[in-house]
Structure 1
């Protein structure tokens, strides 16, 4: 098996790091959206939004 040059190795590591970062960002956005949807649902169901949950 041929040894990979250091440059391409660093590149692939950076690519993987960027992919991980994107996935984490997507997950955070999803969580934020569902939290907002939950709040909107609660308001629609007559829950007082000014009353903060404990």
Structure 2
């Protein structure tokens, strides 16, 4: 998927959490995700709810 300029998704391999930075806001999604792929899918779904379209 093509991200918007300045959009970033960061997965913490130790905490198993994900941080999403998009449109000037940063959101911490603390649920322990099984792996990076699951975390990124959740973060992308969060961005879609905010209006991001690939």
TM-score range for the pair, normalised by the shorter chain length: 0.3 to 0.5
- Larger RCO of the pair (alpha carbons < 8 Å, separation 6+): 2
Greater share of residues in strand: 2
Greater share of residues in helix: 1
